[in-house]
Structure 1
Amino acid sequence: MTRRKFFKTANKIFGLFLILIGLWAADDKKKQSAVRKVIIPGSLNEGVNFVGNVIVVKRGKSLEAFEAICTHLGCLLNRKIDNKIVCNCHGSEYNFNGEAIKGPAVKSLNKLVIHADKKSKNLYVYV
């Protein structure tokens, strides 16, 4: 193979690689833009509450919300054992502050902002 042919082939492969990355990034942005509103029920238990794909942690009068998606491979989190939120797929564990405390996940859960509707007095988050 000549040097010229090698560089032509390498440029084509690199161009195809860039196109594929662009398509993947565009698809990822579409997934992120599909936002939905999740209403937080008024009667929550103390500690961890699973509301669809949202985890709501109640401590006295304080509430925190996290996306109930494991940061390892995106599995839905819906199980609590002792004082930990546990992923059914690969066993990652999170504390009630959303921090990864046992792998394979190393990233904390995505924290959500809790909004209040003044008219209905409902609390909600966007996921």
Structure 2
Amino acid sequence: MRRETTIFKVNSIQTQVRTKTSGGEVVKVTVRKHPNPRIDAMEALQLWMDYAKTTFQNEHVWFNISERQPTSLQRIKEELVAVLRENGIPETFTSNSIRHAVISHFAKQQDADWKAINACARWAPGSRVTQEYYAR
């Protein structure tokens, strides 16, 4: 995710990510405003991007502040787990279990938007991973 491909609108954020599959197709992802400001990803992302823009001279969105360089996916997972533990969330919950829960929630909704779910999960458009492993 890069700043130049992230567009903030009134009730949503649109960005682009590269899928994890070979060839890494670029897909669009939309994050919508949540009514609860305590868990609104839009607000948190806006605050972080404003901070990163003034602090780092780089187009990346996610940074390892101590090393002052773009962060790795592994580092993001470690930070998420640290936040979970600091807030009393049991060790059975990991970055992968949260990802699985969120994708499962979307997949179980009536009229699930498989293309949007694939984009959010960084799977290629047309992938059937969600239908086969999550929507049960």
TM over 0.5: no
**Length-normalised TM-score, structure 2:** 0.21
Larger radius of gyration: 1
Higher normalized helix content (fraction of residues): 2
